[in-house]
Amino acid sequence: MLPKSTMSSSHDMKYDGSSFLIDITSAITKVTGNYSISNAKRRWRFAYVAIYSRRVMLSLAKEIISKRNSHYVSKGTNHCSLVPHDVDKARLSNMVKDKNLEAYSEFGGVEGVADVLGTIPAKGILGSDDDTAARRELFGTNTYVRPPPKIFLHFVLEALNDTTILILLGCAGLSLGFGIKEHGPGEGWYEGGSIFLAVFLVVVVSALSNFRQDRQFDKLSKISNDIKVEVVRNGRPQQISIFDVLVGDVIYLKIGDQIPADGLFLGGHSLQVDESSMTGESDHVEIEPLKAPFLLSGAKVVDGYAQMLVTAVGANTAWGQMMSSISGDNSERTPLQARLDKLTSSIGKIGLAVAFLVLLVLLIRYFTGNTEDENGNKEYKGSKTDINDVCNAVVSIVAAAVTIVVVAIPEGLPLAVTLTLAYSMKRMMADQAMVRKLSACETMGSATVICTDKTGTLTLNQMRVTKFWLGLENVVENFSNAMAPTVLELFHQGVGLNTTGSVYKPSAESEPEISGSPTEKAMLLWAVSDLGMDMDELKQKHKVLHVETFNSEKKRSGVAVRKETNNTVHVHWKGAAEMVLAMCSNYIDSNGTQKSLDEERSKIEKIIQGMAASSLRCIAFAYMEISEGGDYIEKGKPRQVLREDGLTLLGIVGLKDPCRPNVKKAVETCKLAGVDIKMITGDNIFTAKAIATECGILDLNDAGGVVVEGVEFRNYTEEERMEKVDKIRVMARSSPMDKLLMVQCLKKKGHVVAVTGDGTNDAPALKEADIGLSMGIQGTEVAKESSDIVILDDNFNSVATVLRWGRCVYNNIQKFIQFQLTVNVAALVINFIAAVSSGDVPLTTVQLLWVNLIMDTLGALALATERPTKELMQKKPIGRTEPLITKIMWRNLLAQALYQIAVLLVFQFYGKSIFNVSKEVKNTLIFNTFVLCQVFNEFNSRSMEKLNVFEGILKNHLFLGIVGITIVLQVLMVELLRKFADTERLNWEQWGICIGIAAVSWPIAWLTKLTPVPSKLFFTNAKWVKSSLQD
C-alpha cells in the first residue's frame, strides 16, 4: 500500500515539474518493487497510479497557468506584456454586436478572449496607471461623440423667429428709410434705429437666457448619465464611473443594472437581460455560456447576477453608435408651460383685437385730418400731403399698433417658467435632488400624497446584526463557539454562498472590504467577524450548482451548493423570517440536532414578532441536504427551481437599521403642508408599525390610521380599496404590484401622487405616479430611468425638500403672472383709451419695448428666483383642479392695474395743465411713472398674501440687483438717451412726483391684501379664462 503521506500529497501539494517526476517514479517503484504481491493487487495499484498521475498532471497544468498569470501581474506596470497591440479590435467588437458564435469559438470562448485581452478572470485587469492608459489608447474610452451643443447664434435666430419681432423689424426698417430720407442721416435714424436697438436688446436677453438654460441642462444630463459600475481590478472589487470602464475589465452585474459596455458572459447564474432599448424586442434574453454569451451595452439586467468581460467600449459598441447619431433635445414642454402657452395665446388674441382697433382708429383720425403735428398743423391735407409724410405716418401708426401686441402678449411667461425651473433645478441639485424631467419640478408642488419606502429613505440603510437566535436559544456572544462545527459550516454556506455581496481581504492583517447591498454587507460582516468565515476558502471548497435570485414577491433567495470533499449537496434559503419559517418542518439546535417544529413553531413566530416590534429586520436561514440530480421541482423545464418545503431552520438574525436624524421633523413638515405620507415596505407588519411610529407616520392615538399587508390590500374588492385607501398609513409585506395598485387607486380619487422606489420592480409604480422619486445610492438604473427625480442621498428629508421646491416653482410662476398681467392690463387700457379719445398714444414703440424688456426678462429673473419660504409648507396642496390664476391674484392685479390706469389717464388728459409742462414732458412723466410703478409693484409681487413683502429681501441679492439695474437704466433712458427713447429731461421735483405716485402702490397693496376675496368674480365664467387656466 502507498504511504498515507503520499496519498495526502495528491490533495495538498502544489506541483512543479521536478516534484511531479519524483512522485511518479517513487509510486511506480513502490508498486513494481514488491514482486511478491498478487496479480489482482498489482492491477489495483497500477489503476491507482494512473488516477494519481492524472490528478498530478491536472494540478501541474493549474500550476503553470497560475505562474503565467502571476508572471503577468508581477511584470506589473508594463502594459505591453498584458495587452498585445495586434488585437483585432473590429473583429472583437463585431463578434458581440453580431452575436457571432463562430467567431466566439475561434477566439477560444470567453477564456480565449480574456487571454487575448490580458485579463485574469478572477482578478480582472491590472489597473495600474500604465495599464489603464495603454488600454484607453488602444481601445478608446467608454464615451461616444455627442452632437455639438447649440451655439449662441442658434438661440438668437430662434428668438428672431417670432412674428411680432419680425413685424417690428420691418416697421423699424421702413421708419429708418423714411426718416433718413426726410431728416437726413444725421437725425433721421433716431426712431427706426431706436426700434432696432430695443428689439436687439429683447432678442439678445431672451437668447442669452435660453442659451444658459441649455448649457445647464447639458451639465445635468452628464451628471445623470454618470452611472457607478462595480469592477474588479487586480483582485480588488471597486466602484468606478461608467466613463472609466475599459476593454478587459471584469464587471459585476445584478438585477436592475444597465450593461455599461459590450462584452461576454464570464460567470454567474440565472442571468436574463432586456435588450428592448437596442433591438425593440420585449422578450427577455436568457444568457447562457455556450449558446448566448453576448451582452450588449444599454441592455438592462432583469434577473440573476453575473460577471462580464468587456470587449468594446464607447463608440465601438452598438449603443454608442446609436447614441452618437441621436441629437439631444431639451425642448421638453412641461404641463405648466403648456397651460401658459394657452394663456399667452388667449391674451394675445385680446391684444390683437385692441391693437387692430387702435390701428383702425389712428388711421381714421389721420386720414380725416384729426391729427396735428408738433407745430399744431394738420398732418394730413389730402392730395397736398407729401407721399413720404403719409408713408411715415402710416408706418408710425402700424409700429404703435404692433408694439401694443408685443406688450399685450405675455411672452415673459414661458421665459419665467424656464428661468424658475432652471434656477430651482440648480438649487435642488445642491439639496441632493437631481431632476430628470422638468415637469416634475412643478408637479411636485401639487402633490397631495407621498408613498415612501422604508429602508434607506426613512432609515439610514446602515444595517447591523444585533440579535441572533439559534433555534430557541438567543445567542448573545461567542457566536462561533456557541454551536457545533457542523452547524457553523452550514451557516458559512448559507451566508457566504447565498449572497450577491463579496468579501475582499488584501492581506491577512488588513480589515475585509465588503461590498453589496446594506443587508448583504451586514450579514457578511457578521459571518466574517463573529462566525470566522473565510470567503475565499469557502468558495474553493464548494461549487454553486443553482441559484434562485432574490425576488420581491417571494422575498427570499436560494442556492444549491456541492461540497467538493464529499460531494454532499445542500440547498440554502435566506429571506423574510416568517416566509422562510413557513417552508421549514424542522429546526436545528446548537449541537446540530434536528428537532420537529410542530410544537415549537408558535414560539419561534413570537420570537420573530418580538424582534420586529423592536424595529429589527428579521432574516431567517434554512437548509436541506439533497441529491445532486434530484430534489428540484419543475425538473423538466430549462430553469430548475429549488425545493421550497421540508427545510430545516438554521437560525434567525435581527438587523437594526436606525431611523434617519430629523426624519420625524420632515414627516411632520409634510403633514402640516397637507400632504399625506404612506409607508410601503417589504418588511413584516410588526417592523413596519414600529418604524412608522418612530418616524411619525403612524400615530397610535389616531384610530383612523390603518395598517395593512399587501396581500390583504390586493384581495380587497375595487370598492373596498377606493373606500379604505385614504385611511391606510402603512402597507407591510407589499410587492411592487401592490405599490402600483395603491398609486392607481389614489390617482382615481384625484390625488397627485409622488412615489419613492429603488428596485427594478418599482419601475411600473414610478412611471404610473405623477412624480417618480428614485434613490441615487441604492436605486437600480431601471428605477432611475423610470423616475422623474433622483434623490441622491436616499433621504426622506430630501423628498420634503423637493416638495418645498415644487411649491416654490409654482408660487414663483404665479407671482410673475400677477406682476406681468398688471403691466399688460394697464398698458393696453391706457394706450387704447388715449388712442380712441385723442388719437395720441402716450407710450411710444421704444418705450413699450423697454417696458416689455423690464417685465419679460428682468422681472422674470427677479421673481422667478425667490427661494422657498416656511409659509409655503403651511398651505394646503394645490391639487389638480386649482386654477393657475387664483381669485387672490385677480384681486391684487386688478387693484394695481386700476390705480395705474387712473393716474396715467389723468396725466394723459390733464397733465399739461396740472404740471404746466409741454406735451413731451407730460409723455415723459407718464412713461417714467408707469415704469416706476412696475418697479414698486415688483416688491408687492414677492408675496400674494403676506403684508410684509420685505421679509428676507436682503438675502435675495439677485432681486435687489435687478431692481437697482432697472432704476439706473430708467434714469439713463430719461436723462441721457432722450432721442433714443423720445423723452425729455425731468427736474428733481418731477422725479419726486413720479416716485411718490409709484410708491403709493405699496399702501394700496397692503389695503388690498386686507380685503377678503369674494366667492365669485364676475369674469371667472369667461370662456377664454376657463379654457386657459384649467388643465
The percent helix, strand, coil of the chain (3-state, each to 5) is 55, 15, 30
Phi, psi (rounded to 5 degrees) for 411: -65, -20
- Dihedral sign from CA coordinates of 319, 322, 328, 331: negative
Alpha carbons 855 and 962: distance in angstroms, whole number? 11
Separation of alpha carbons 994 and 553, rounded Å = 72
- Cα separation of 771 and 442, whole Å? 10
Grid cell, residue 112, equals 480565449
DSSP 177-193: HHHHHHHHHHHTTHHHH
In angstroms, the CA 297 to CA 310 distance is: 10
Answer for the pair 390, 182: CB distance below 8 angstroms, yes or no. no
- 818 and 948 in contact (C-beta within 8 Å)? no
Distance of alpha carbon 320 from alpha carbon 312, whole angstroms: 10
Which residue is listed with cell 429613505?
457
Annotated catalytic residue: which of 115, 262, 453, 856?
453
C-alpha cell at 186: 444725421
Q: What is the dihedral of CA 429, 431, 434, 440, to 10 degrees?
A: -110
Cα 285 from Cα 877, distance rounded (Å): 45
CA dihedral 29, 33, 35, 39 (to 10 degrees): -10
Residue 365's Cα: distance from chain center in Å? 60
Q: Is 453 among the catalytic positions?
A: yes
Q: How far apart are CA 272 and CA 255, in angstroms?
A: 9
DSSP SS3 for 705: coil
Query: Do 307 and 266 touch, CB atoms closer than 8 A?
Result: yes
Helix, strand, or coil (residue 633): strand
Whole-number Å distance between alpha carbons of 253 and 260? 10
d(CA 815, CA 826): 17
Buried-exposed string 862-884: b where 16+ CB fall within 10 A, e elsewhere: bbbbbebbeebbeeebbeeeebb
Output the CA–CA distances (angstroms, integers) from residue 644 to 519, 554, 581, 647, in the order listed: 22, 11, 11, 7
| Pairwise CA distance, residues 264 & 278, whole Å | 17
Residue type, 140: G
Buried b (16+ CB within 10 A) or exposed e, 727-749: ebbbbbbbbbebbbbbbbbbbee
CA-CA distance, 939 to 862, in Å (whole number)?
10
One-letter amino acid of 123: K
The C-alpha angle 584, 585, 588, rounded to 5 degrees, equals 85
In sequence order, which ranges of 477-572 are alpha helices (DSSP H)? Answer: 485-496, 518-529, 535-541
Neighbour-count burial for 823-846, b at 16+ CB within 10 Å, e otherwise: bbbbbbbbbbbbbeeebebbbbbb
**What is the phi-psi region of residue 233: left when phi exceeds 0, alpha when psi lies from -120 to 50, beta otherwise?**
beta
Contact (Cβ atoms closer than 8 angstroms) between residue 644 and residue 559: no
User: What amino acid positions are annotated as catalytic residues?
Assistant: 453
